[in-house]
Amino acid sequence: MPKRPHPNPSPGGEGLEKESLSPLSFRRGVGGVAQVISALLTFVLLAAGSCAPAAPPAFAPPSRAVSATPQVVEDIEQRTFRYFWDLADPHTQLIPDRHPTPSFSSVAAVGFGLTAYAVGAERGWVTREAAGERVRRTLQFFLDAPQGPAAAGMTGYQGFFYHFLDMETGRRFKTVELSTIDTTLLMAGVLMCQSYFDRDDPGEAAIRDLAERLYRRIDWTWIQPRPPLVSMGWTPEEGFHTYDWRGLNEAMILYVLALGSPTHPIAPAAWEEYTRTYKWGTFYGQEHANFPPLFGHQYSQVWIDSRGIRDATMRAHGIDYFENSRRATLAQRAYAIANPGGFRGYGENVWGLTACDGPLDGDLTLDGRSVHFMTYAARGAALGDVRDDGTIAPTAAASSIAFAPEVAVPAIAEMHRRWGEHLVSTYGFLDSFNPTLNVATATHHGHVVPGVGWFDGDYLGIDQGPIVAMIENYRSGLIWKTMRRNPHVVRGLRRAGFQGGWLEEAAQ
């Protein structure tokens, strides 16, 4: 999900090409359409080597489990959980978009936080009672927060929520958009808690009721100015965004939840149109539906167990979305091994491009060549789309652990071993680092350790969340198993045309 502006954003933005454009990939809400156009114009295509053949076969072998979860992985999961548990505002329960830099809240980070609370309860890091109370208060806040068309003083409208909220008041932050994807990721966490807190006691019954009311309130049909697709967002000042969600990207779960609504469902034709624009092809030996940043292959599958279930598109290609994400992961690793950009540190255990912080906006001459660096950007590598300045985000590999543990676990361990002194702290991995930028220079984020590299100074909630969730899915399948019981998710998948696997036995 990412493009969050820094609380003190620098000029400019970034995006992917029009059909795969993701609002999590560029600065949204504070510049409207003009900023989107600017982002498109400033996109940097570094496609050299992007179509080069590599050793991995076109069809990946089955995922090989790692025999035991290394202590470093368990430690990272628990530390990352503490980001959400420790940093929630005591009044609103909102989660900061980033820390320690003071910031607004991201409603998507709240969705990841709700999911993390269930993980923490299951692991015994907090009591189930404490986690349940935190969840109940969070859901109550969102249900009670003001909704309406006014430009100020509101938290949302038509059941949707603004992308960023003031941490203390919970009201719209500046002029950000009412965000369909960020609302969706919030609702995914809400529904996770609805199914996880299933005991017959008043507190857990209240969680289930609040979750149902929040989900039913969303009018998905209202934000379809160009049906059957769903718009990326809306603002009181400019109306609906001019872009709709079309795939492949993080919006798979958006369409599943919109299709599954018991009150305001969209038509099944939306899924057909969303999947029609998938970009199939082979990148570094892996044939799959391409999307450059890895978050687009991870976010939906934090909550949706895609193993063995297929829609019409995946049936036609003989794989499922889990395998597609696995191939995207292996392709990125192969790209890092080939390292066509000649960046420092890249290799078989140092890889992972996704939306993340970066050091600065500008060009520097390093090792006798000019390198264009970026601050927050949707870094990625896919067929025809490469955006890379040597900045690695640990969340990219760590959140791929459920898809390809045999390459993700060594990557987690290697980044921890080589750069842990600068990269790992209270809440696990800091957001990003860049070994290529190893000479002293002024940076917008973080700092340079001369001779070692640049290291971010912040954690980002939307990058922390998938780390907790996907490590837990790898270790126990908790989130996947829980969400397979949620009737709204099951309904949405079936209306999208998914068949097979666990879905055949799921309750109606």
Digit-coded pLDDT (tens) for 275-316 = 999 999 999 999 999 999 999 999 999 999 999 999 999 999
- So what's the pLDDT on residue 114? 99
HEC readout, 449-496: ECCCEEECCCEEHHHHHHHHHHHHHHHCCHHHHHHCCCHHHHHHHHHC
Phi/psi of residue 198, each to 5°? -110, 10
**Helix, strand or coil for residue 259?**
helix
pLDDT digits (tens, 9 = 90+) for 417-432: 999 999 999 999 999 9
203 within 8 A of 145, measured Cβ to Cβ: no
Higher-confidence position of 36 and 66:
66
Most distant pair of Cα atoms in the chain: their distance? 67
Give domain status of residue 2, yes or no.
no
Give pTM, 2 decimals.
Answer: 0.90
pLDDT digits (tens, 9 = 90+) for 442-491: 999 999 999 999 999 999 999 999 999 999 999 999 999 999 999 999 99
- Tell me: pLDDT of 68 over 80: no
pLDDT digits (tens, 9 = 90+) for 132-191: 999 999 999 999 999 999 999 999 999 999 999 999 999 999 999 999 999 999 999 999
Question: Which amino acid does the sequence have at 324?
Answer: N
Give domain status of residue 6, yes or no.
no
Give domain status of residue 433, yes or no.
yes
- So what's the pLDDT on residue 66? 52
Q: What is the domain range of residue 209?
A: 18-504
pLDDT digits (tens, 9 = 90+) for 77-104: 999 999 999 999 999 999 999 999 999 9
Give domain status of residue 10, yes or no.
no
Give domain status of residue 13, yes or no.
no
As for how many domains the chain has, the answer is 1
Higher-confidence position of 6 and 148:
148
- So what's the pLDDT on residue 507? 82
Token pair 């003009």 in the structure block, residue: 34
Average of per-residue pLDDT across 329-341: 98
Give domain status of residue 394, yes or no.
yes
- Tell me: pLDDT of 34 over 70: no
Read off the tokens for 141: 């806040």
What is the chain's mean pLDDT, rounded? 90
CATH of the domain at 123: 1.50.10.140
- So what's the pLDDT on residue 502? 98
- So what's the pLDDT on residue 4? 52
93 within 8 A of 54, measured Cβ to Cβ: no
Give domain status of residue 5, yes or no.
no
